Amino acid sequence: GVLLFERNRNEVTITPIGERVIEQAILAIEEANRVKEIAKQGNNQLAGPLKLGVIYSVGPYLLPEIIPILRNTAPEMPLIVEENITSNLETQLRNGVIDVAIIALPFDISGIKTLPLYEEEFVVVVPSGHEWAKRSAVDAIELADEKILLLNSGHCFSNQVLQACPKLSEKGEVLQGNSLDTIRNMVASNLGLTVLPASATISRYENPLIKVIPFKKPIPTRKIALAWRKSFGREQAIEVLGEAIRQLEMFAKGLL
């Protein structure tokens, strides 16, 4: 007897009462599925796939490091991976499409728990022939005078870079790419400079055509965390995933 959706010629929108009904329905479905999971797994929360969401600027660099660890610690828990931007992962997490997400903080969402994992520094990447290539450090404010390559709008990492150097959006020339690896290759081709998370510059990504330079203090950073619904019933799976990430030496200095 209540209106859940409002329709017009161009779109369908959810009414306020509709949002409440849908939210409660999702909880009811999840609790019902939880009963099935308990019955299926017995006492083993590490049995069965884990649906993992991860932001684009983390997935390619973190997953190859943690999957070998998880194969040992949780061999019956394969990962179903969804790479996406933060806003889409938030929706998928709330709607139960994914179980847990690896995101950058802040991530203050009602009904969602977070576990901070590590703090990661940003670095500057320049072509090997650039005048900065022999420098030991770069001030964030200097980026405003350069041609900078960033991820497309909507990626939280681009927003974090712009927050670290506000003048960049005021007067700098900013070009966009679809992935950090694509941007790194464009830098190697001498198109411009970029800012990457330190995990995207470890030894396996070394390229003689580019040079990685640290920032001067205060060094821009981001905090990476796990996020999951408070109603999610596999807390042990969350713990094992978090512990796998904490074991990585590449993040040892930044563990939270």
C-alpha count within 13 angstroms, C-beta hemisphere, residue 162: 19
pLDDT class of 208 with cuts at 50, 70, 90: very high
Q: For residue 39, what pLDDT is reported?
A: 63
**97/68 Cα distance (integer angstroms):** 25
pLDDT class of 29 with cuts at 50, 70, 90: confident
Q: Is 81 a residue whose pLDDT tops 90?
A: yes
Q: For residue 242, what pLDDT is reported?
A: 96
Lowest mean pLDDT among 29-43, 193-207, 208-222: 29-43
Q: What is the pTM of this model?
A: 0.82
High-pLDDT (> 70) share of the chain, %: 95
Q: For residue 255, what pLDDT is reported?
A: 78
Q: Is 41 a residue whose pLDDT tops 60?
A: no
CA angle 147, 224, 73 (to 5 degrees): 130
Q: For residue 46, what pLDDT is reported?
A: 92
List the structure tokens of 198.
């330190």
Q: For residue 28, what pLDDT is reported?
A: 83
Q: Is 37 a residue whose pLDDT tops 70?
A: no
pLDDT tens per residue, range 150-202:
998 788 999 888 888 887 777 666 888 889 999 999 999 999 999 999 999 99
pLDDT class of 90 with cuts at 50, 70, 90: very high
Q: Is 36 a residue whose pLDDT tops 90?
A: no
Residues 6 or more apart from 229 whose CB is under 8 A from it?
A: 30, 93, 94, 96, 99, 111, 112, 113
Q: For residue 25, what pLDDT is reported?
A: 86
Looking at every residue in the chain, the average pLDDT score rounds to 90
Sign of the dihedral through C-alpha 39, 45, 46, 48? positive
**157/83 Cα distance (integer angstroms):** 14
Q: For residue 165, what pLDDT is reported?
A: 80
